[in-house]
A and B are shown apart, each in its own frame.
Chain A
Amino acid sequence: MAFKPSKRKKHNIDRAQAKLTLNSMMDIFIIILLFLLKTYSAQGHLIFHSTKLDLPVSSVVNQSDVGLKLVVTQDMIFVEKKPIVRMQNVIKNSDGVVKNGIILPLKKVLLNFGTKSRQLEEKYGIKFSGDISISADKNLDYEDLVKIIQTCGNADYPNMHLSAYNK
């Protein structure tokens, strides 16, 4: 014999009024996005394509994020994301920009950073290692690269690390 249908159960649900709750889905989306970004950043670097900065390719696997960040694009030299000097003036050895193979504005900025780092070393014991990481465009000429290296060496940053894409 069949049982009598339960009175407690709602047998006549109005399905037309059921709503899709997107709040929880949004939460999941955000968590997944954050998780993915965190995972990727642990494995590699997020690089945005730029026609002005294309790093060379190398087989080295050493860590690249060391010390002060110096970026040399086709147009401009940046130190810690601040534009310092136009490459055009460096290439042309313009007066007041390059003297005896030293890029004067760059040297000034590096010396400033060096002085601040030494002050930090004295005050808080954070050791100044003289490390600098150079990310330069692969089409940079050797003579311009030498100017940059000479300037770094001259401005208390002798420990240079050339950044490159890993093969």
Chain B
Amino acid sequence: MAYKPSQRRSFEAEPTEPNLTPIMNLMVVLIPLLLSSAEYVKLGAIELNLPPVAGPLHTDQSKLTEGSQSLNLTLLITRDAFFVSNSLPENPGKQMAGVEIKREKNAPLRALQNQLYLIKAQTPGYYRDKDSITIQASAGIKYQEIIEVIDAARTIKTGDREMELFPVVRLSAGVI
């Protein structure tokens, strides 16, 4: 005897819509979660130059012609102090050639900036490297400190306006 045809098979499936409510719930939770775990920040980049490979250590500045003279501004960073040196002719009473600046906790970079500002003011416009500074540090100085010093050496704020100091930064390969 043949079986009676199944009634289930003849059942026509009604068009059903997918239930999107759980997906929506998931989205509502996920989006704020992702946004809170991420942070939108602006990134900047400091252009860095390598110091000249070779050159005379001591040059007689008086024999050089205009345009061939160089400032050779160097900043050494140690744990306790900054040492600023340059090739400007000795200026009595101003202590320009080599200056030690103690690093203070409260205003660590202002004194350095003031010294660099003085040097900038004294540097004739025809110096080849009038916008350059070479930075060298002792072992153990952190990258953040170097960046802060680079920032301080690039610009100085005088009142409301910002003045350019030495925007061309070179990082010396040597470690003190």
A residues sitting closer than 8 Å to B (CB atoms) are 19, 22-23, 25-26, 29, 33, 40, 43-49, 55-66, 101, 133, 136-143, 145-146, 149-150, 153, 158-166
Contacts and interface: CB of A to CB of B under 8 A. Distances in A.
A136 B173 CA distance: 17
21 contacts: A26-B20, A26-B24, A44-B42, A48-B38, A57-B147, A58-B151, A59-B151, A60-B45, A60-B151, A62-B47, A139-B144, A140-B143, A142-B141, A142-B143, A146-B172, A149-B173, A162-B45, A163-B43, A165-B42, A165-B43, A166-B44
Given A59-B151, A166-B43, A22 B21 contact: yes
Contacts of B147: 56-58, 138, 162, 164
Mostly helix, strand, loop or mixed at chain A's interface? mixed
B151 A49 contact: no
Nearest to A134: B48
Contacts of B40: 40, 43-47
A145 B137 CA distance: 11
User: Can you list the 5 inter-chain pairs with the closest CB atoms, starting with the nearest?
Assistant: A60-B44, A138-B144, A64-B45, A161-B45, A166-B42
A48 B37 contact: yes
Contacts of B148: 56, 58
Contact of A136 (B27, B45, B143): B143
B68 interface: no
Contacts of B138: 142
